[in-house]
């Protein structure tokens, strides 16, 4: 309502349960508004009493909502400005808090807090943390000390506001303050992090931080505790603190932005914000089993909830189930009457869903175990609606009374312009049939991943022999039919089937490249198919396609003949596989039939030298080694084991392959009777550094080293086939396939990481050690510049290793510029929230990129372990889609060739030899001991 003219209203609060005392909070004059709570169906939280004769303008709830939806930003500005003019420093909801304080009502020690409409501008902690308070002080000090800054006393609608600034100008000021803040989105997130801790606030307490012309001020200015003008010492201290602590605030920004979005009502979330929430939901373990469409639905209705105090009861046993919860931060106790605490749930766990599904009372009481717990909440009405919608949008195809294909209607905004349905699950044969009928022949849209998902993952649920049999059956569907007697419609159907099979082969070769040509059955089928296609006059276009495929096959076979059987050697001193003898040219792929020479030891450290193809099983190696070492035991009584430098033992399965490449940096292969496993000990040289060229790293140009490292690492990354990620995730033994190229690339990451640690703790001179740390930070910077993120992570993780991070004298001596840079890099590799900082950074890059491979493997494992491969006898294709997404990320990273401007040719050969084989110790105990020697622990 708006007061049109005449007189005034009194706004009062009445606590009816305890007493009848009313408190007048304010008077409203002409032009004032009240009653905006109808927008969100909130109950009236104050009584409005006419003080004199009044005339009003009234807007009904339905009309008000319609106007608001069409003009959200304008209406927000109108409401905010009206409140400022009326002296309404707080919204009606905030006024309720004031009323409680006036009445001095005691609050219970345990209470149930589930706000249905949380205020997105409200802080999530009652008292700011010391770090955020200090950051707020430093930022305010610099703003106030700058006479040209945006923080000024302003008169807004007749009301005087001290030291406030528009959000747009605060964002611009922060962008100019530090080069580490690159975008307006980052700056806005950093201010939001301060706002949600209560360090900053919107002048009317209604808006989260927005890069718009809303006014904000520091809490200390609002409550009058800011003090006088800052001194020069204050400004110096503030500048120093900003340099040290700003990266931490930058790191908190994305989380704060996400929480702000999740605290908004569903209808206020923009499409861009929904996409950000959806990306976050993809990495929550409790949601991993849900379909993509359900996660997209959840993105619009899932809300953030925070509770400040341990002991708060979220809900009680026997209560009606109203919400499903997921723990983002903190922990809760599950308490059952008569049993006490039966479980403690931690970050990533969910609870409360069963009561919603069964429409039953709560089976337990949930009590917060820690202060400041953060949760995600899905309310019952939304939960049930999503389940209904999913079932309504699901199409089930049955044969003989059983489901054979389950399809789901596709939302338009997902970009599937050509299809109404996408595959959720099905039998392998039915999915292939559906694919041939709907995704080939020009029907496939650019954004439809079904065909690509199938091609990248079919080896999991439809091995190549079965796939070829089905393709052959589709191509020869007319084998038992006299085409002369068939109708034109039938003849066209058979021709279309043949065309689609040929097109499938073309897309298959394009998607997985040489993996098709490495399979003898696939090659034989392609050659037979070419003969049949050429015999069909109506398939001239398809004959051209299959001829092109045969040309690719011929070139590949010629290349293979030139590099027939390669020989590799695993040196006894443990240096990386990439240095195996006879292979110095780039982009050399390790193949299953390549020979490898390696040693196998027994308990007394005697050994034999063996030569086998890479694809040889552990069972064969074990039997041969036992025979050569004269271990008189039956094969079933023996084990083949890796003994690491730390003494850890890893037992190989009999059907494991590519064992030598799977070893850790200083690992060795042992054969042992089962009852003598405990007697296996590392060789003495396993605790020593691996052999490497004798080169002074400090004398080399850092940029030149980064350049040659990137070229070398790119060649290793290029050799990894996407299928190897599947072999690694499901287990090599399930496919009888090697993962040697992936093993080498992972080994390279570990080698760089431990090289950094080894070099630093081996340097006894303090000044040289500090200089070495500085050089490694510079090396990380150049690797990041070259988009060699695998090496960048390895270097930063090496510098973060406990043996290095404890060297306080070294770090204290390091110039502040490099300490600040390293802090930024630590924030980028921070694993919290599933490496969100890294994901956001790498998402902005264009290929070529050398990605952080351990995280890609983690994503594959997450998808595998969090989702069943088969559901009710059908292939869970949603799981295949998740895995194919990660495999496509690998493909995208190398979709362009690596081209770098070469540095000076000085020391080129020396650097190349050096970066191929680093000196490393991978025993953490030894590294810690060396660290203690160079810098003994202070008493």
pLDDT at 834: 78
Residue 867 burial class via C-beta count within 10 angstroms: exposed 0-12, middle 13-18, buried 19 and up = middle
CA 271, 275, 280 angle in degrees (round to 5)?
150
- Bridge partners for 304 per DSSP: 376
| pLDDT per residue as tens digits for the range 206-256 | 888 998 889 999 999 888 888 888 899 999 999 888 888 888 888 888 888
Q: Is the C-alpha dihedral spanning 800, 802, 803, 806 positive or negative?
A: positive
d(CA 192, CA 174): 13
pLDDT grade, residue 431 (50/70/90)?
A: very high
d(CA 756, CA 765): 16
- Could you identify the residue written with the tokens 């110790």? 921
CA 507, 496, 484 angle in degrees (round to 5)?
145
Quote the percentage of the chain above a pLDDT of 70.
Answer: 85
Q: Is pLDDT above 60 for 108?
A: no
- CATH topology for 130-263 is Arc Repressor Mutant, subunit A (1.10.10)
Which two tokens mark 258? 């996400």
Cis peptide upstream of residue 242 (ω within 30 degrees of 0): no
pLDDT grade, residue 581 (50/70/90)?
A: very low
Helix (H, G, I), strand (E, B) or coil at 641: strand
CATH of 691-848+896-934, one of 3.40.50.410, 3.30.70.1560, 1.10.840.10, 1.10.3720.10: 1.10.840.10
Please compute the mean of the pLDDT values over residues 889-894 and round it to a whole number. Answer: 94
Q: Is pLDDT above 60 for 13?
A: no
Phi/psi for 694 (5° steps) reads -85, 85
d(CA 551, CA 555): 6
d(CA 263, CA 195): 13
Element (DSSP H or E) covering residue 31: none
Enumerate residues 6+ apart whose C-beta is below 8 A from 289. Answer: 866, 867, 868
Enumerate residues 6+ apart whose C-beta is below 8 A from 94. Answer: 119, 205
d(CA 723, CA 509): 13
Task: With CA atoms as reference, report the closest residue to 857 among 756, 739, 713.
Answer: 739
Q: Residues spanned by CATH 1.20.870.10 within the chain?
A: 401-542
Phi/psi for 405 (5° steps) reads -155, 130
pLDDT grade, residue 575 (50/70/90)?
A: low
- Bridge partners for 399 per DSSP: 402
Phi/psi for 669 (5° steps) reads -95, 130
Taking the mean position of all CA atoms in its chain, how far away is CA 48?
A: 50
d(CA 924, CA 555): 48
Please compute the mean of the pLDDT values over residues 496-509 and round it to a whole number. Answer: 93
Q: Determine contact, residues 631/641, Cβ cutoff 8 Å.
A: no
Q: Residues spanned by CATH 3.10.20.90 within the chain?
A: 565-688
Q: Determine contact, residues 332/314, Cβ cutoff 8 Å.
A: yes
pLDDT at 483: 62
More confident residue, 785 or 59: 785
DSSP code at position 394: E
Query: How many Cβ atoms sit within 10 Å of the Cβ of residue 585?
Result: 8
DSSP track, 39-61: GGTPPP-SEEEESS--EEE---H
pLDDT at 164: 92
More confident residue, 549 or 411: 549
pLDDT at 229: 85
- Bridge partners for 398 per DSSP: 403
Helix (H, G, I), strand (E, B) or coil at 113: coil
Phi/psi for 350 (5° steps) reads -125, 160
> Taking the domain 401-542, which CATH number applies?
1.20.870.10
Quote the percentage of the chain above a pLDDT of 90.
Answer: 43
Backbone dihedral region for residue 31 (phi beyond 0: left; psi -120 to 50: alpha; all else: beta): left
CA 684, 911, 847 angle in degrees (round to 5)?
105
Which two tokens mark 102? 């006036």
CA 882, 253, 97 angle in degrees (round to 5)?
115
More confident residue, 440 or 616: 616
DSSP code at position 635: G
Q: Residues spanned by CATH 1.10.10.10 within the chain?
A: 130-263
pTM: 0.74
Q: Is the C-alpha dihedral spanning 90, 93, 97, 100 positive or negative?
A: positive
Helix (H, G, I), strand (E, B) or coil at 924: helix
Question: In the chain, what is the straight-line distance between the N-terminal and C-terminal CA atoms, in Å?
Answer: 71
pLDDT grade, residue 563 (50/70/90)?
A: low
pLDDT at 11: 56
Enumerate residues 6+ apart whose C-beta is below 8 A from 849. Answer: 787, 789, 842, 893, 894
pLDDT at 587: 60
Question: Cα separations (Å) of 740 from 7, 221, 570, 666, 723?
Answer: 85, 62, 13, 17, 12
CA-based radius of gyration for the chain: 33
**What kind of architecture, by CATH, is found in domain 565-688?**
Roll (3.10)
Q: Determine contact, residues 661/716, Cβ cutoff 8 Å.
A: no
pLDDT at 118: 56
Helix (H, G, I), strand (E, B) or coil at 342: strand
| pLDDT per residue as tens digits for the range 631-647 | 988 888 999 999 999 99
Enumerate residues 6+ apart whose C-beta is below 8 A from 468. Answer: 521, 522, 525
Please compute the mean of the pLDDT values over residues 108-127 and round it to a whole number. Answer: 55
Mean pLDDT of the chain: 83
pLDDT at 14: 45
pLDDT at 714: 95
Phi/psi for 470 (5° steps) reads -70, -40
Q: Determine contact, residues 634/760, Cβ cutoff 8 Å.
A: no
Element (DSSP H or E) covering residue 569: strand 567-569
Question: Cα separations (Å) of 295 from 274, 344, 834?
Answer: 10, 26, 17
Q: Is pLDDT above 60 for 888?
A: yes
Identify the weakest region by mean pLDDT among 188-192, 276-280, 727-731, 745-749.
276-280
Helix (H, G, I), strand (E, B) or coil at 870: strand
| pLDDT per residue as tens digits for the range 256-288 | 888 888 888 888 888 888 888 888 888 787 887
pLDDT at 103: 33
d(CA 263, CA 118): 6
Q: Is pLDDT above 70 for 70?
A: no
d(CA 500, CA 477): 12
Task: With CA atoms as reference, report the closest residue to 827 among 256, 258, 248.
Answer: 248
| pLDDT per residue as tens digits for the range 335-352 | 998 888 998 998 888 898
């Amino acid at each position: 309502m708006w007061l049109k003219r005449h007189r005034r209203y009194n706004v009062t609060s009445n606590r009816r349960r305890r007493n009848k005392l009313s408190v007048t909070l304010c008077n409203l004059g002409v032009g004032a508004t009240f009653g905006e709570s109808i927008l969100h169906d909130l109950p009236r939280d104050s009584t409005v009493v006419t003080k004199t004769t009044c005339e009003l303008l009234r807007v009904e709830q339905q009309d008000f909502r319609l106007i608001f939806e069409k003009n959200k930003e304008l209406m927000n500005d109108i409401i905010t400005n009206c409140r400022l003019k009326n002296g309404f420093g707080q919204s009606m909801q905030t006024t309720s808090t004031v009323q409680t304080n006036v009445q001095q009502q005691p609050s219970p020690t345990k209470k149930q807090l589930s706000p249905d409409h949380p205020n997105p501008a409200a802080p999530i902690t009652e008292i700011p943390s010391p770090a955020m308070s200090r950051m707020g002080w430093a930022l305010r000090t610099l703003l106030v000390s700058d006479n040209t800054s945006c923080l000024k006393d302003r008169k807004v609608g007749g009301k005087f506001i001290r030291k406030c600034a528009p959000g747009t100008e605060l964002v611009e000021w922060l962008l100019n303050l530090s080069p580490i803040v690159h975008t307006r989105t980052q700056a806005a997130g950093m201010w939001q992090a301060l706002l949600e801790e209560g360090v900053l606030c919107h002048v009317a307490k209604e808006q989260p931080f927005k890069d718009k012309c809303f006014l904000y001020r520091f809490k200390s200015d609002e409550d009058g505790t800011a003090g006088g003008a800052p001194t020069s010492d204050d400004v110096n201290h503030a500048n120093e603190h900003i340099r040290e602590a700003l990266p931490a605030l930058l790191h908190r920004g994305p989380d704060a932005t996400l929480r702000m979005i999740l605290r908004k009502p569903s209808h206020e979330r923009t499409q861009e914000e929904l996409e950000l929430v959806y990306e976050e939901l993809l990495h929550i373990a409790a949601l991993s089993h849900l379909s993509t469409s359900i996660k997209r639905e959840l993105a619009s209705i899932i809300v953030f909830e925070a509770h400040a105090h341990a002991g708060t009861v979220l809900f009680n046993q026997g209560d009606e189930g109203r919400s499903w919860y997921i723990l983002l931060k903190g922990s809760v106790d599950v308490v059952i009457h008569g049993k006490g605490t039966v479980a403690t749930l931690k970050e990533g766990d969910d609870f409360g869903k069963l009561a919603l599904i069964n429409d039953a009372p709560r089976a337990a009481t949930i009590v917060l175990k820690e202060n400041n717990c953060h949760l995600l909440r899905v309310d019952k009405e939304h939960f049930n609606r999503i389940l209904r919608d999913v079932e309504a949008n699901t199409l089930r195809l049955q044969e003989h009374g059983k489901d054979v294909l389950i399809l789901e209607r596709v939302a338009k905004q997902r970009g599937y312009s050509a299809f109404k349905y996408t595959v959720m699950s099905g039998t392998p044969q039915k999915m292939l049939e559906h694919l041939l009928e709907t995704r080939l022949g020009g029907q496939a849209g650019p954004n439809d991943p079904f065909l690509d998902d199938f091609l990248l993952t079919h080896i999991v649920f439809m091995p190549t022999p079965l796939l070829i049999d089905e393709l052959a059956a589709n191509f020869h569907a007319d084998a038992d039919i006299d085409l002369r007697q068939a109708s034109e419609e039938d003849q066209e159907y058979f021709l279309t089937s043949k065309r689609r099979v040929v097109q499938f082969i073309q897309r298959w070769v394009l998607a997985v490249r040489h993996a098709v040509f490495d399979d003898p059955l696939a090659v034989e089928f392609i050659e037979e198919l070419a003969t049949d296609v050429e015999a069909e006059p109506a398939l001239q276009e398809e004959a051209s396609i299959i001829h092109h495929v045969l040309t690719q096959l011929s070139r590949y076979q010629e290349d293979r003949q030139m590099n027939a059987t390669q020989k590799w050697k695993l040196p006894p001193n443990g240096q990386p596989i990439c240095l195996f003898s006879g292979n110095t040219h780039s982009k050399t792929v390790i193949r299953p039939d390549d020979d490898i020479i390696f040693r196998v030891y027994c308990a007394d450290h005697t050994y034999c030298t063996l030569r086998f193809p890479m694809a040889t099983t552990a069972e064969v190696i074990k039997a041969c080694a036992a025979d050569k070492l004269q271990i008189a035991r039956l094969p079933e009584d023996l084990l083949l084991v890796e003994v690491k430098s730390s003494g850890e033992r890893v037992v190989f399965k009999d059907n494991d392959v590519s064992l030598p490449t799977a070893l850790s940096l200083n690992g060795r292969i042992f054969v042992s009777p089962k009852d003598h496993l405990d007697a296996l000990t590392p060789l003495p040289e396993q605790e020593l550094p691996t052999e490497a060229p004798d080169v002074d790293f400090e004398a080399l140009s850092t940029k030149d080293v980064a350049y040659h490292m990137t070229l070398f690492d790119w060649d290793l990354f290029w050799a990894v086939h996407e299928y190897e990620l599947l072999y690694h995730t499901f287990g090599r033994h399930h496919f009888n396939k090697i993962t040697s190229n992936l093993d080498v690339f992972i080994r390279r990451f570990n080698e760089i990481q431990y090289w950094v640690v080894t070099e630093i703790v081996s340097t006894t001179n303090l000044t040289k050690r500090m200089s070495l740390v500085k050089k490694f930070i510079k090396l990380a910077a150049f690797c990041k510049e070259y988009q060699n993120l695998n090496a960048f992570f390895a270097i930063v993780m090496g510098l973060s290793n406990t043996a290095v991070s404890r060297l306080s004298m070294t770090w204290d001596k390091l110039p502040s510029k490099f300490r600040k840079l390293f802090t930024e890099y630590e924030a980028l590799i921070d694993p919290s929230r599933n490496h969100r900082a890294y994901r956001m950074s790498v998402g902005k890059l264009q290929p070529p990129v050398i990605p952080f491979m351990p995280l890609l493997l983690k994503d594959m494992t997450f998808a595998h372990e969090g989702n069943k491969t088969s559901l009710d006898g059908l292939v869970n294709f949603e799981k295949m889609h998740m895995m194919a997404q990660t495999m496509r990320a690998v493909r995208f990273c190398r979709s362009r060739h690596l081209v770098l401007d070469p540095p000076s040719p000085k020391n080129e050969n020396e650097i190349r030899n050096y970066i191929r084989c680093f000196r490393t110790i991978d025993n953490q105990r030894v590294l810690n001991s060396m660290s203690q020697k160079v810098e003994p622990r202070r008493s």
